[in-house]
Amino acid sequence: MILTNGSRGLLSFAYSLLGLARTCATPRKSERNGKLDFTKLNFPGKLRPKAGRGAQMDLARLPVRTQLTLVLLVATVLISAVAALNASNYQQFFPALEQLQVSIISIHANPSSQSLNGSVTFAIENPTGYSGLAMKDILTNFTVTFPNMTIPQGSILYGGSLKRLNHNSPVNITLELVGSGTGPDQVTKLIKNGAIPQYAFTINLILTTFLDQVLGMTIPYQCPSTTTPVACEQVGIIVTSNGGGPSGGGGR
């Protein structure tokens, strides 16, 4: 009825709800003597909900205050219906932060004395139904590890465009592996001596959320030393104040 008759139907529906509330609270003649029977609902003909033109005429006959109450009821139902969608999405916000997955899907390098000449591709996936997360930036620190030595290679900032993290549509980010300082040269020498390098990444995923006006969210991940695709582990959630709001840190 509501869908087919539009706003008129909604008003009739609201009227019937109000009528029901009023009717339930109105005792029958026999009940006014002191006996209340709540097992029976009475619907006097005057307040029985009617559809179509009948309901329209009844609405016009109602006192202005009752009509205004109906308007308030309809407005509240409409606003609540819209808010319910946002509220239900919000309830998945924290699980989405917690379950956000980062993995290395490909990694290769061909080191020379000047550069590592490689690249790494990260896949970032939001497995929850929450919509509203986006990746603003990604800051990666990485090291090249050998069985008896770890060589820091500096950090890489993604600096690309904003990537929305929608449900089950992974975002792939490819970063160039160059290395810093004497790192590539050291790696090249060790490889020439027969050592096998592995790459270890620490990732800081900088997010854009609906709380950006008050809070900044960064999720750090630790990826194990690898030369093959591997899943990274979430270390915690770093919360920073963005002007005026509270600040703090969360974690597992």
Q: For tokens 């790459």, name the residue.
A: 199
Nearest to 191 by CA among 120, 111, 108: 111
Q: Select the residue interacting with other proteins from 2, 134, 211, 235 (CB under 8 A).
A: 211
Q: Are 235 and 222 in contact (CB under 8 A)?
A: yes
Q: What DSSP state is assigned to residue 244?
A: S
How far is residue 43's CA from residue 48's CA, in Å, rounded to a whole number? 6
* Residue 163 β-bridge partners: 135
Taking the complex as a whole, the smallest distance from the CB of residue 104 to other proteins amounts, in Å, to 27
Residues in 74-113 at the binding interface with other proteins, rule: CB under 8 A: 75-76, 79-80, 82-84, 86-87, 89-91, 93-95
Taking the complex as a whole, the smallest distance from the CB of residue 191 to other proteins amounts, in Å, to 44
Site string for other proteins, 127-156 (x = CB under 8 A): -----x------------------------
The answer to the question of residue 11 lying near other proteins (CB under 8 A) is no
Q: What are the tokens at 242? A: 């963005």
How far is residue 154's CA from residue 23's CA, in Å, rounded to a whole number? 74
Where do contacts with other proteins occur on this chain (CB under 8 A)? 18, 21-22, 24-26, 36, 38, 64-66, 68-69, 71-73, 75-76, 79-80, 82-84, 86-87, 89-91, 93-95, 132, 209-215, 237, 239, 244-246, 248-252
